[in-house]
Each structure stands twice: as structure tokens, then as C-alpha cells.
Structure 1
Amino acid sequence: MAELTAKLFRGYFGGSWLGKITKNGEFLREILFNWPIAFEKYSSIGTEVGLITPPGSGFYDDTNKVCVAGWREDSKRWCMTWFNEFGGYGETQWTSQENVNGVTVLFGFCKECKQESDDLTHHIVLCEMTDQDNFKYRINSFKKGLVEIEAHRIRTAEELKSLMLVHNIEVELFTDISKYS
């Protein structure tokens, strides 16, 4: 198996993605998520109200989440940690990669707690990066079953960053205008 690199994650996942979620083969819903800052030391995905991702499009489920991701040099792993409005949290660590028939496959594990009072659950995760604009993510556990997200890129990281800059300027202009109304 090939060693993971931070460059792989920063270069691939930046941008906006539209995906469809299935659980045990049954379609659940579509999901939109943004990974706006894939060029810095750390990256984040935000699904709180008021950000680019529309309300109700929580990552994996219908909770609002904030996710921070980054490279952990000491263990050579890409780690993502998230928190939701119910006191829940989780962490995914990508541990290795392999090329299978021209498809990059990432392997890892995940632990999560949906809300503050829940027990921690453990999952196996796998991501097939079929080309530069498509991937299939699988999370599998005894408790959850098999959840799959098939996603395709709808915006590059550069396009998303430009959109966010324009969006921030519009918010600033609206704020300035509302001061004088």
C-alpha cells in the first residue's frame, strides 16, 4: 500500500460536491457540501446556517455540523473532526491508500457520537476516487449498516473561494447599507 500524503487530500477534495446518499442500497437524499480552504494547513467544511451550504444539508445526516480537517504529520494521517448542535462529535482518520485498476482507494476508520448522551460507535470507512471529479465514500458498521455517498464536483476549490469572496463582499455591503436605513 502506498503512503498517504497531505497533498493528495488538499489537491483532490477542495471545492463543492453534490452527492446522493444511500443506506443499505436505499436512496435517502442528496447532499451538498463545500470544502473551501483546501490549500492551507487546515481545511474546514461548515454546514451552519448562513454559510454557502444551504440549511438542512448536514453532512451524513440532518444536523448542522462544523468539520475541521488537517494533516497529522506524526502518524501520517489525514484527520477530520466534527461537532454538531446536539453535543455530538466524531472523528475520521484516513490511514492508507492503494491503487486498484486505476482507482485510488483510501482506507480508514471513524468513531462518532450523534448526540451528547449516545454511546460512541466505530465504523470502517473507504473512499474510491474514480477520477478528479467523482468519488464514492462508504461507511460501514454493525450498528449503521452500509451508508454510501456518491459525489461529483460541481465547483473547483478556486471557484468556491471566489464565490465565497463575492458572498462576503455582498454581506459586508448589506451590513453597511442597513446601518444607514
Structure 2
Amino acid sequence: MTYIILNAFGFFLFFVVAGFSAALLLKTNGKHIIKVIVLSTLTVFPGYLAWNCFRGMIQGELYENETYVHLKKILSGDESGSIGVMAIYAGYNAYGFELESIDVDNIWSGKIKFNDKKIPYNLYEVNTLWRNRAKGIKEKKCFLYSWANDIENEYRREIQLFNDCDKKEDTISKVIANSKN
């Protein structure tokens, strides 16, 4: 419920600030142009928030930020996690690589059948960039990662790690087939 209230507040704030800066722009003369530019620029951030809120209302919670933070901590060696993700970290770390950047994008969200009930499921494409500490060489690694999220029953767990981003369409079709069962 608070998520919807925050979304509505983001939309309201965006329109108020945009309207105020537009009104100033209409009344402006040369001495107020800096104020108009500053106030007009301030509409960008509420607009961004409003877009994210709208997207969240339409698509549901995608947990991209949470997944990003979770994977970054594991792949940086700051905390332990699932065997598959820890294996990626251990493999790169053994050859002198450290995580330089990570990008998490939701590629599919829906519901899958798990323990005789349907729970929310998100599949992410994770692109990582690793830098060798000694040689300065950079390598890219892409993998697919999935969470199942059942907020109502306070259930959240990693479901699967897929090593190949090239077979993304096959993976999505398998997940969709599982969601129809």
C-alpha cells in the first residue's frame, strides 16, 4: 500500500514542479532565466521517479536494485551466497580478477508453480565486467539469474543460475512453460 502512495506522491510532485516552472517560464524576462532553468531541471528527478513508480505499478516489483546489491556483495567477496554465484566469484578471483561493474536487467517476470501454488518469479540478465588486478585485462561475463518472490508469505529464494546468455530465449520459453503448469 505504501508503494502506491509513494507512486501517487511522485506523480503529484512531478506535475506541481513542472507546472510551477512552466508558469515561471511564461512570465519570465531576462533576469529570471537562471531560476527557470534550475526549476525546470528539477522536474527531471521527480519525472524519473514517476516513471519508475508507474512502471512498478504496471509490471509489479522487479527487485532489480535488490538483486544488484545482493549479487554485487557476493561477486565482490563481501558475503557468501549460493554455490553457483560463489563459483563465478571464486573462478575469477583465483586468476587475479576483481569485479569492476555489474548490470542487472529484468528480462522476464511472472508466476511459476512451486509447491502446488503460484509464486512471483523474476529472471534477470546479469552482465559483469572483471578486471585483472595485475595485468589490467578486462573480461565480460554474462549469466541469467532468477529469484522467486512470495512477499505475502515472506518467502524469497534463488531458484536457478543459468550460465549462458546466448540461450536466453530458450531459458525464457522453459520458464514460461513452467509458469503455465
TM-score (norm 2): 0.30
Structure with greater helix percent: 2
TM-score (norm 1): 0.30
Structure with greater strand percent: 1
Larger radius of gyration: 2
Higher RCO (CA 8 Å, separation ≥ 6 residues): 1
